[in-house]
Structures are given as structure tokens and as C-alpha cells.
Structure 1
Amino acid sequence: MRTYEDFTAGLEIPLGPYVADRDDMIAFAREFDPQPFHLDDAAGGANELVGSLTASGWHSCAMLMRMMADGFINDSSSQGSPGVDFVNWKAPVRPGDTITGRVRVLSRRLSGKRPTLGIAKIGATLENQDGVTVLETEYTLLLLTREGVAA
């Protein structure tokens, strides 16, 4: 299990691949973001900005979360996150896209109040199969130290 001590500044962790499935995109949009260009091929094609059916940006975030859970979170002492600093949707995710990415530890420090809790600033980037960046985000990850895990 990875603990705070393993998340050194500069560490990069690869993510994915994850294939964006058309039916999953539409199901997610029906439930959470029912804008026409997320629900229908024709409506997506008629949208001047995207030109085809695209995943909701929030679905892209959910894809990122799945890749992070598989890539490192489920094998870490993660205690969750107090929040996200920003999310930028740089390009649409389209049906059939193969998404890969990476997270990078930007900085880290121990909590001033809880010495067995570490705080890491994480940057994440996702790209499609053509190397086009589709999402960028930064957030804070809380991790137990080795001492905290042993307690």
C-alpha cells in the first residue's frame, strides 16, 4: 500500500487506458447532464462547437476518477479529498476514444494538526488516442503516513 511517504514531489503515475463507450456516454448524460449533444448523434453533429456526440465533461471527470482508483487510489492510504482547485475540459471526448493520462504530485506536506496525515497537491491530465489533451485538473489528496496506517 502506498502511503504519504511514497507520494514524493514530481512522482508521475500513468493512468488508463479507458475506452469511452457511446452507450455509457448517453446513459450518463440521461442521468446527470441531459444536454442534446450528449444524448443524440444528430444533435451533437448539429452543435457548432463539438460537431458530434460527446461525453459530458462530468462524465470525463468520472472516467478520470475510475482511472485514478484503478491506477493508485485503491492501493493507497487515501483519506479522500477536501476539494478540486480547477477542472479544464480542453477538448471533447467522443465515442470510441481511448483515454490515457497521468497524475503528478506537485507538492506535499504534513498536516499541522494531524502528524499522521499528509496533504498532496495533485495535477492530472487526460489525453485521447491522438495525444490531444481532453482534461486537466488539480486537487488535494489526503493520505495517511506509514505511522498513521500502523496505528
Structure 2
Amino acid sequence: MNIQYIEDLAAGQRYGSGRLTVAPERIKAFAAEFDPQPFHLDEAAARDTLFRGLAASGWHTAALTMRLLVDGEFRPAGGIVGAGFEELRWPRPVRPGDELHIESEILEVRISKSRPDQGVVKVRTTTFNQADEPVQVFTGNLIVQCRPAAAAQAEAS
């Protein structure tokens, strides 16, 4: 898919991704390094917690979502460069064997007044499991480059 400059983007556009399967050993490895809590590290210990079984860290889910974004259909000019989040939530846990995919929806597009070569795109990205149940939802603001002046002039002629 082609790179999308800010001029190519409009509210309501949707972009998808491929799929990624979550292996239990990856859940444990991520948790061991970054979020070492029993419900992320050990099946037996996890059974006696709120999660009632092994669950991926929310931060692991966020990292998996980033991978799906980078490999997905949404290709903003300049890369996926975040300028902050307005919302981040995990409505249900990610479990071993879950197959994740994402859908990103453009909510708002605006050219920067102070930097006319770029703008801000508000995007809601929902990560789904194999049953199409949301496991993560975030609304973020991305910095997206404008089409270079030379390319814009060539397209106009």
C-alpha cells in the first residue's frame, strides 16, 4: 500500500491488519522482563487471581498492537509517530493462543498552524481477538507529514 500523506486522510477512513498469534512463552518472557506479576508469569498462580488464568500484560498487548500497526494497511507519511494518547483501555485480557488483529479509524485530520509541512491525525485503534472481541482500545494523535510541495505540484498538473 502507498504512503498516505495528511492530504490523503479523512475522518471515517478505516485500515486493517494481518493477524498475530500470542504464544504463552512470549507472554511469560515479556512479563519476566517488564511486568513480573503472577498472572502474567505462571498458569497455576494466575488461576487464583482476578484473571483466572494466564493473561498478557496490557503493555505486551500494546507492543503487539504496535507491531500490527507497523505491518498493517495504515501507512502515514513519516511513520507512525505518536504525539500522545487521549484514551487507552483493555476491556478484556489477552490469553495464550489468542489471534489478534486491529482496525484503525481516522477520527479527525488537521494541518498544523505552526508547522504547515505536517499535521495531526486523531486515530482510534481497536485490537481484537479471534472472536472479534476488543482487547485494547486507544485513541491517539499521530504526526503525519504533508505531501511535499514538488509532488503536490506534479499531481496538480
**Please, what TM-score do these two structures have when normalized by structure 1?**
0.92
Q: Which residue does the alignment assign to 1:55?
A: 56
d(CA) in 2 for partners of 1:93, 1:122? 22
d(CA) in 1 for partners of 2:150, 2:47? 51
Runs of 4+ in 1 over 4 A off after TM superposition: none
Question: 7, 29, 32: which is aligned to 1:30?
Answer: 32
Q: Which residue does the alignment assign to 1:20?
A: 22
Relative distance call for 1:117 and 1:149 in structure 2 (3 A) is farther
Question: Secondary structure at the residue paired with 1:81?
Answer: strand
Relative distance call for 1:117 and 1:148 in structure 2 (3 A) is farther
Question: Secondary structure at the residue paired with 1:121?
Answer: strand
Deviation (angstroms), 1:85:
1.3
Does structure 2 retain, via aligned residues, the 8 Å contact 1:14–1:102? Answer: yes
d(CA) in 2 for partners of 1:21, 1:83? 29
Q: Which residue does the alignment assign to 2:72?
A: 71
After superposition, the C-alpha distances for 1:17-76 in whole angstroms (9 at most, x for unaligned) are 1111111111100010001100001111111x2111010000000011000011146x43
Question: Secondary structure at the residue paired with 1:139?
Answer: strand
Instruction: Decide which structure has the larger Cα Rg and report it.
Output: 2
Q: Which residue does the alignment assign to 1:92?
A: 93
Q: Which residue does the alignment assign to 2:10?
A: 8
Gaps of 5+ in 2: 152-157
Q: Which residue does the alignment assign to 1:44?
A: 46
Tell me the C-alpha RMSD between the 2 structures.
1.8
Gaps of 5+ in 1: none
Give percent identity, aligned residues only.
36
Deviation (angstroms), 1:15:
2.2
Deviation (angstroms), 1:83:
1.0
